[in-house]
Amino acid sequence: MIRFSGHYYDGLSSVRHEVELHLDTKLILHVKGLDCDRAYPLQEIKISPRLGNTVRSLGFADGAKCETSDNDAVDEAQGWLGEGQSNRLLHRLESKWPYALLATGLLMVILIAGYRWGIPALAREAAQLIPDEMAYDLGKGTLEFLDQFLLDPSELDDSRRASLTRAFAGMAEKYPRLPLNLQFRRGVGPNAFALPDGTVIATDELVELAENDQQVLAVLAHEIGHVHHRHGLRMALESSAMVLILSTVFGDVTSIALLSSALPTVYLEARYSRGHEWEADTFALEHMRANGIETVHFADIMQLLLNLHGDAEGALSYLSSHPPTRERIERFR
Amino acid sequence: MEEFERRPKQRSWQADSKMNLPFKFTGSASEYFRIWYVNVLFNVLTLGIYSAWAKVRNKQYFYRHTWLDGTSFEYDGDPLGILKGRIIVGAFFVGIYLSSTYSLYLNYGLLILLFLASPWLAIKSWAFNARNSSYRNLRFSFRGSLGEAYTVIVGLTILNIFTLGLLVPYTQWRTASFKIKHHGYGTRKFSLAVTAGPFYAMYLVMGAIGFASYVATFGIFNLLTEAINDSPTSETWPVEILTLAFVASVYLPMILSFTYLRANSANLVYGNTRTGKLKLRSNQRTLPLLWIYLSNFLAILISVGLLVPWAKVRLARYRIQYLSLWAGESLEVMADEEQEDPSALGEAGVDFGGFDFGL
C-alpha cells in the first residue's frame, strides 16, 4: 500500500480539492477528500514523467486529474506496474551532479572536436560530392556586384595584361576541370581573390607592386588553389553548420542576453579561413615545384605585401583571417 | 460512498474584497543546469531529433515552477507533433538558404511565401501553445481568426513600411490586443484594457532616453579621445581598446532604450490583461532588467555559453516575480469547455523563424 496526499481537479471547474491518495494491493488508486471519493485502476492512469522535484500529475480517464509533490510515492507506484524505468533513468541522470558534469564535459569534447575536425571534414567531403555545375554556379552574380560597388576597371597597359593572361592560361591548362578565368581590376590595393565560380581577380596595384611576372603568377597559383579546393562553398557549409549547432545547443540567446551571437561566430570562422589559406598555399607550393617555378617568388611577394601592411601581431592577428604571415612566408623559402 | 458533486462550489468571498495574488517562481539555476545539460547532450547525440522532447521538458520545468494561489501551471505538448512541425519548417528554411545561392528569384519567392504564411503559422502555434497549457486541469485556448491575423500581421507590416515607423506603437498594441482577446481559460475570455495611446507615450519616452544616453556616451567618448590626443606621452592606446569603447558607446544607449521598451511593454500588455474581475499586474523596472541582461551577457561570454541555463532562470524569475493577479472574485469559479486538437505545425514556426510577437 502506498499513501500520499495531493490535490484533485475534476476538469470541469477550477475548484481545488485537498485529497488523500492510496494505492491498494489490487492496484486501484483511491482518491478521498471532503467532496470526493473516487477509485481508478492504476493501469489506466496517465502519469506525467518526473522532472526534478516538480509537481507530478496523474491523469484519469474521466478527464479529472490529481497533482502531488510526493514524487517518490508516484515512482514507487509506477514500479509496481513494472513501468517507468526509462523515466526514472532520465530523472537520475538529471538529478545527480556527477552525471550532469559528465554530460557537460562530454558535450564540450564533442563540440570542440566537431568544430576543429568534424565540421571541416564534413564540409570538405560534401563540397567534393556536389556536382561541378552546382558547385561553380555558386555566387554567380558576385563579380557584377563587386564591379558595381567596390571595384574599378583595370588601367594596366595591354601588353602586361596580355602576357599575364597568357601565362595564367598556361597554368589553367593543367586543371581542365576548373572553369578558371582571369580578370583585372583596380581600387582595393594590392590583392587577389578567387570567386567560387572560377573567376580569379588580380588588382592592378598587385601587378605594380610585384617585381616580376613570376611573383604575380605565384599569387595566382594560390588563388587557383582556392578554386580547386572549393573553399567558397566549404566556407558557406562550415558557417551554416556552426550556426545550426550553436543555436541547437544554446537556444535563444538573444532573448536572455540581448546581444546577438554574431561576434563569437566571426571569431570561430576566422579559424576556418586560416585553414583554407594554408591549403591554398600548399596547392601553390606543389604547383610551383611541379612546374619548375622557384617557390621563393611567393615568399618575395608576400614579404612585399607584409612590408606594406606592417605586422599585425597582437590581439588583432587572431581575428584576422590569414595565418601570421611570417609562417606562411617561411614555407616558400 | 458519497457521490461527488459535479457543480463547482464557490468559496465565501466578501463582496468587494480584493486579493493580491503574486505569481511565484520556484525554479533554481542548479536544478535547471542539470536538466538542461543532460537534455542538450541527448539533443546533440541524436543530431537534433531529441530537441522536441527537450523543448517539452524545458517548458514544463518553467511552467511547473510558476505558482499562482498554491497551484502550478502545466504544459503537456506532444513532442511528436513538435518534431513533425520542426522538420517541415526546417526543410523550408533549408530551401530558402540553398535558393539564395542558386536563384535569387526563387529565394525572394520563398521569402514572400514565408511572409504570407506567417499569420497562419502564428495562429497555429499560439493555439498549440494555449491548448497544451493548463492550470488546475482547465485548459487555455486561442481562437483568433485567420482573417484578423492577416490584417494584423501582414497588413500592418506592409502599412508600416509606408508610414516610416509612425505606426509601430499602434502595431504593437494591435498585435498584443489580437493575441490576448482571443485567448481563453475554460469558458473565460481575456481582454486587453488599454488603448494605443500609452504605447505611443512609451515610444516617445524611449526616444528621449535613447537621445539623452547617446549624447552622454558620445560626450564621454569624445573626452576620452581628446585626453589621449592631448596626453604628453607618445604612447597611443591600442586600437582594440578604442574600438571597444566606440562599440560600447554605440550599443549601450541602444540596449538601455531597448530594455526600457521591453520592461514597459510587458507592463502595458500584461498589466492590462483582464478576465471578469481578475486583473493581471506587471511591475518590471528598466534598470534591474538592464542589470540582468548585461550580467547575463557577460556571464555567457565568459563561461563560453556554459551559464545559459543560469541566465534563463534568472530572467524568468524576475519577470514572474513582478507579475501578480488582483482577484476581485474567487479563482474557483471557472468552468471548462469543449475544444478540438489543432495540429502542431505552427508550433514549430515559433521555434524556427522567431515568430514570437513579443508576448
Strand ordering across the sheet containing A17-23: A36-41, A28-33, A17-23, A2-9, A65-68, A56-59, A46-47
Label residues B141-158 b or e (16+ Cβ within 10 Å = b). bbebeeebbbebbeebee
Q: What is the arithmetic mean of pLDDT over A10-17? A: 88
- Mark out the alpha helices in chain B (DSSP H runs): 29-45, 51-64, 79-102, 104-131, 146-149, 156-163, 168-181, 197-230, 239-270, 286-302, 308-321, 345-353
| pLDDT given at position B231 | 65
ipTM for the predicted complex:
0.79
Please check the confidence at residue B352 and state whether its pLDDT lies above 50: no
pLDDT class of B116 with cuts at 50, 70, 90? very high
A194-209: pLDDT as tens digits: 888 888 988 888 888 8
Q: What is the arithmetic mean of pLDDT over A250-270? A: 63
d(CA A240, CA A243): 5
Instruction: Give the residue, A244 or B27, on which the prediction is more confident.
Output: B27
The answer to whether the beta carbons of residues A167 and A159 sit under 8 Å apart is: no
Tell which B residues from 197 to 236 touch A, by Cβ distance under 8 Å: none
Which residue bears the cell 521538458?
B57
Provide the pairing of β-strand B71-75 with B133-135: antiparallel
| pLDDT given at position B237 | 61
DSSP helix/strand/coil, A204: helix
pLDDT class of A258 with cuts at 50, 70, 90? low
Please check the confidence at residue B106 and state whether its pLDDT lies above 90: no
Mean pLDDT of chain B: 82
A13 and B8 within 8 Å at the Cβ level: the answer is yes
pLDDT class of A21 with cuts at 50, 70, 90? very high
Q: Give B21's Cβ-side CA count (13 Å radius).
A: 19
A36 and B38 within 8 Å at the Cβ level: the answer is no
Least confident segment among A326-330, B63-67, B197-201, B314-318: A326-330
Please check the confidence at residue B348 and state whether its pLDDT lies above 50: no
Instruction: Give the residue, A263 or A192, on which the prediction is more confident.
Output: A192
Listing DSSP states for A74-143 in one string gives HHHHHHHHT--HHHHHHHHHHH-HHHHHHHHHHHHHHHHHIIIIIHHHHHHHHHHHS-HHHHHHTTTTHH
Strand ordering across the sheet containing B138-142: B24-25, B66-68, B71-75, B133-135, B138-142, B183-185, B188-189
B17-31: pLDDT as tens digits: 468 899 999 999 999
Q: Does A129 touch chain B if contact means CB atoms closer than 8 Å?
A: no
Name A178's Cβ contacts closer than 8 Å, sequence gap at least 6.
A172, A198, A224, A227, A228
Tell which A residues from 146 to 205 touch B, by Cβ distance under 8 Å: none
d(CA B98, CA B96): 6
B155-182: pLDDT as tens digits: 999 999 899 888 999 999 999 999 999 9
Give the count of beta carbons closer than 10 Å to the beta carbon of residue B233.
Answer: 6
- Comparing alpha-carbon positions, the chain B residue that sits nearest to A104 is B37
Tell which A residues from 50 to 109 touch B, by Cβ distance under 8 Å: 51-55, 57, 63-65, 67, 90, 93-97, 99-100, 103-104, 106-107
d(CA B43, CA B48): 5
Q: What is the arithmetic mean of pLDDT over A291-307? A: 83
- % of chain A at pLDDT higher than 70: 89
B4 and A134 within 8 Å at the Cβ level: the answer is no
Amino acid at A204: D
- % of chain A at pLDDT higher than 90: 19
The answer to whether the beta carbons of residues B281 and B1 sit under 8 Å apart is: no
Provide the pairing of β-strand A181-186 with A56-59: unpaired
The CA R_g of chain B, rounded to the nearest whole Å, is 24
What are the backbone dihedrals phi and psi of residue A279, each rounded to the nearest 5 degrees, phi first?
Answer: -65, -40
Q: What is the arithmetic mean of pLDDT over A231-258? A: 75
| pLDDT given at position B351 | 37
Q: A261: burial class by Cβ within 10 Å (0-12, 13-18, 19+)?
A: middle
Please check the confidence at residue B306 and state whether its pLDDT lies above 90: no
A67 and B71 within 8 Å at the Cβ level: the answer is yes
Nearest to B1 among A14, A37, A97 (CB): A37
Nearest to B34 among A49, A54, A97 (CB): A97
Q: Does B34 touch chain A if contact means CB atoms closer than 8 Å?
A: yes
The CA R_g of chain A, rounded to the nearest whole Å, is 33
Please check the confidence at residue A288 and state whether its pLDDT lies above 70: yes
The answer to whether the beta carbons of residues A211 and A265 sit under 8 Å apart is: no
Name A193's Cβ contacts closer than 8 Å, sequence gap at least 6.
A200, A201, A223, A226
A10 and B137 within 8 Å at the Cβ level: the answer is yes
Least confident segment among A58-62, A166-170, B247-251, B293-297: B247-251
A98-140: pLDDT as tens digits: 888 888 899 889 888 988 888 889 888 888 888 887 777 776 6
Q: What is the arithmetic mean of pLDDT over A155-164? A: 89
| pLDDT given at position A244 | 77
- % of chain B at pLDDT higher than 90: 43
Q: Min CA distance, B296 vs chain A (Å)?
A: 5
Label residues A133-155 b or e (16+ Cβ within 10 Å = b). eebbebbbeebeebeeeebeebe
Please check the confidence at residue A71 and state whether its pLDDT lies above 80: yes
| pLDDT given at position A333 | 80
Q: Min CA distance, A297 vs chain B (Å)?
A: 33
| pLDDT given at position A266 | 67
Q: Min CA distance, A131 vs chain B (Å)?
A: 13
Please check the confidence at residue B215 and state whether its pLDDT lies above 50: yes
Please check the confidence at residue B268 and state whether its pLDDT lies above 80: yes
Amino acid at A259: L
Please check the confidence at residue A40 and state whether its pLDDT lies above 80: yes
d(CA B129, CA B123): 10
Listing DSSP states for A138-162 in one string gives TTTTHHHHHHHHT-EE----HHHHH
Q: Does A236 touch chain B if contact means CB atoms closer than 8 Å?
A: yes
